[in-house]
């Protein structure tokens, strides 16, 4: 079964789970007092920058603009080779309804860091990825 065909957690029920790990998946988000989560994203498609190695988020933070940010985590089932993660804490995940998300590795992050407009902050109530936060501080 190829990565593209694994859309829901239930799709894993019929395959060998070699290469899959249960652990924490980490992401970077703006620190603020508003409702909602505004994570660092790949600007081309809005995919949140999810990583298995928390230390990789420093590279992301330096690339998106060093605003006041924090790391957050969730328990996931992930496969580093396929670049997929299922959020085991998401509603419905215990019924196999969790949808696969992109898991980024070091090589992919390095490429995005070196790509103009590769990474940014998710748009929110205050606008797009430009202008919503000032360097080292979020107002």
Q: Which helix (H) or strand (E) holds 64?
A: helix 57-64
pTM: 0.80
Task: With cut-offs at 50, 70 and 90, classify the pLDDT of residue 63.
Answer: very high
- Domain boundaries along the sequence of the chain: 3-9+21-121
Q: Which residue has the higher pLDDT, 5 or 27?
A: 27
Other CB atoms within 10 A of residue 20 CB: 17
Whether 12 and 88 have beta carbons less than 8 Å apart is answered as no
Residue 62 per-residue DSSP state: H
* Tens digits of residue pLDDT in 35-47: 778 899 999 999 9
In the chain, pLDDT over 90 holds for what percent of residues? Answer: 53
DSSP per-residue letters across 93-138: GGGT-PBEEEB--HHHHHHHHTSTT-EEEPPBTTBSSSSSSBTTB-
Amino acid 133: pLDDT: 46
């Amino acid at each position: 079964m190829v990565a593209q065909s694994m859309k829901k957690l239930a799709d894993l029920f019929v395959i060998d789970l070699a290469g899959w790990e249960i652990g924490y998946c980490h992401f970077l988000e703006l620190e603020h007092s508003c409702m909602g989560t505004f994570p660092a994203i790949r600007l081309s498609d809005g995919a949140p920058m999810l990583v298995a190695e928390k230390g990789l988020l420093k590279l992301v933070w330096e690339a998106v603009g060093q605003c006041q940010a924090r790391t957050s985590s969730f328990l996931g089932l992930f496969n580093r080779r396929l670049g997929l993660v299922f959020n085991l804490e998401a509603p419905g995940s215990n019924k196999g309804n969790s949808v696969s998300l992109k898991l980024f590795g070091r090589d992919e992050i390095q490429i995005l860091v070196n790509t103009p407009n590769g990474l940014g902050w998710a748009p929110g109530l205050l606008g797009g990825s430009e202008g919503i936060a000032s360097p080292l501080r979020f107002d």
